[in-house]
Chain A
């Protein structure tokens, strides 16, 4: 089976792997929309979506009603609505860019996945081999570079809509994304200063970051989120701003901008913006976890290899040390952490009120950026002293 896969041409292999990753991200993005509504309902103490059901499932006695209460079928109803609604094209828009914008939203959101490793297995000598589509040496730079292209979709959508509110929204969007990119980039530099210890080959990839968080001993096993809490905090805040989530969603603030850049969009084109936002959140959460919260290590001070060793010791089953099992475990651990992060996104959304636009700008330039610079200087000095 595995021989058959590895004998395929490289392009076909890459295609299949990419397809597999998309098959995971798309459903998560879809389910997120439902989870968002359910969590909102839970926080606001109301039932939330609980009506839609497919008739023949409603006939199953208890299970059917349970699924109905869960609101699972609202996802399908939403998807169906988005696909079959009339896809209107307003007369006053600039048609080419109007259609291009949602597509441009999807491309960077899905391209960043290629350089993010999402799991690992243990090689023959016990070393960790990362799993990913294209584990580059310059992983974090590639993520930042491709993610920064996402702003085009917002600018073009606002401009091509050719009306006031979308335009104002897109101006806000581009200013906000550019502002918070600075703090975000500066906040991860201490991590990469630390992992590029003297005598080792330089890298900006994620694999080494996780490797450093899964070493033996107390300091070796400490996740960077505990070693560099300020970096992690700045990165998290900037991540909220970059994905346009509350409290930074002044971009689409419906109270003063109607719907902002997607005011004129409907049906599937709007759906693409929606899925792109969730894909951004998923990839951003994965990057945050890889950098600051141990990647595929189950618990702080308990690396993947140790956990697998314990499992093997406890059960005695041979398959627990098989690379395939370890790989699936690591992916599952990362996925669980990503889902936890997505819950955090939603939790914040329904707890913290939206900032005013001038507050967003002030926070970005006058608070986060100086804090990120001070943090960088502090860690640069500390790392120079420690790794002398």
Chain B
């Protein structure tokens, strides 16, 4: 009973937080809603007994990523920024994204019925050794690829920020 109640609470927190991120016009509010959503998600992981994932989620996302978001939002606009209005490009992208999400939900509804409880995955429980072993054997390639992607994103950010700094100096 308690677990069910907790499930509903955390689900509501996650979903409402996510909606808050999308619908809030104030960027700081949106970032805080993102934080709430992450806390709800971490709670769901705890209910699934995936403590390690829950803690890592809080550590990496809530502890570092959202902090940086807030940091940058505040640095860019101290008065709590307003979003720029929608352009035709954003509208198009939003339509495509919404269509894709609808398609995904539809396919999940049609095929995604889980008959029985799934066997515990590598991230469940707090069996660190199993988790680490899987990470360095079965999932080594995906981990490396994701790391490489992150490296590319980081390089891209550095290039873009350098260029902007250059133009500001030129003024």
Contacts and interface: CB of A to CB of B under 8 A. Distances in A.
B70 A201 contact: no
A155 B35 CA distance: 14
B62 A149 contact: yes
A159 B78 contact: yes
A97 B80 CA distance: 12
Nearest to B39: A149
Nearest to A200: B129
Given A155-B71, A174-B71, A202-B127, A145 B59 contact: yes
A203 B132 CA distance: 12
A141 B74 contact: no
B28 interface: yes
B18 interface: no
Contacts of A145: 55-56, 58-59, 62-63
A311 interface: no
Interface in B6-52: 28, 35, 51-52
A138 B126 contact: yes
Interface residues of B, number: 24
Contact of A202 (B58, B68, B128): B128
A149 B67 CA distance: 9
Nearest to A205: B126
Contacts of B63: 144-145, 148-149, 151, 181
A13 B165 CA distance: 57
What does DSSP make chain B's interface, helix, strand, loop or mixed?
helix
Interface string A126-149: 000000000011100110111011
Contacts, number: 72
Nearest to B75: A171
A353 to B, nearest CB: 28
B58 A149 contact: yes
Contact of A204 (B67, B68, B128): B128
Interface in B47-87: 51-52, 55-56, 58-59, 62-64, 67-68, 70-71, 74-75, 78, 80
B60 to A, nearest CB: 9
Contact of A201 (B55, B58, B129): B129
Contacts of B62: 145, 148-149
A152 B67 contact: yes
A202 B70 CA distance: 36
A167 interface: yes
A145 B129 CA distance: 20
A203 B128 CA distance: 7
A354 interface: no
Nearest to A203: B128
A178 interface: yes
A141 B52 contact: yes
B71 A171 contact: yes
A138 B59 contact: no
Most buried by A among B51, B52, B59, B78: B59
Contacts of A74: none
Interface string A149-183: 10110011001001000010011001100100100
Interface in A251-287: none
Contact of A142 (B55, B68, B74): B55
Nearest to A100: B32
Contacts of B58: 145-146, 148-149
B28 A167 contact: no
B67 A137 contact: no
B36 to A, nearest CB: 12
B76 to A, nearest CB: 12
B49 to A, nearest CB: 11
Nearest to A158: B74
B59 A144 contact: yes
Given A159-B28, A203-B128, A178 B64 contact: yes
Interface string A93-135: 0100100000000000000000000000000000000000000
Contacts of A144: 59, 63
A144 B59 CA distance: 7
B55 A138 contact: yes
Interface string A72-110: 000000000000000000000010010000000000000
A142 B52 CA distance: 9
Interface in A284-304: none
Contacts of A171: 71, 74-75
B28 A152 contact: no
A9 to B, nearest CB: 10
B126 A136 contact: yes
Contacts of B129: 196, 201-202
Given A136-B51, A145-B58, A201-B129, A151 B75 contact: no
9 contacts: A94-B80, A97-B28, A138-B52, A144-B63, A155-B67, A155-B71, A171-B74, A181-B63, A202-B127
Given A148-B62, A151-B63, 20 more contacts: A97-B28, A137-B128, A138-B51, A138-B126, A141-B56, A145-B56, A145-B59, A149-B62, A149-B63, A152-B67, A155-B71, A159-B70, A159-B74, A159-B78, A162-B78, A167-B74, A178-B64, A178-B67, A178-B68, A204-B128
Q: Report, nearest first, the 5 A-B pairs whose CB atoms are least far apart.
A: A148-B63, A145-B59, A202-B129, A202-B128, A137-B126
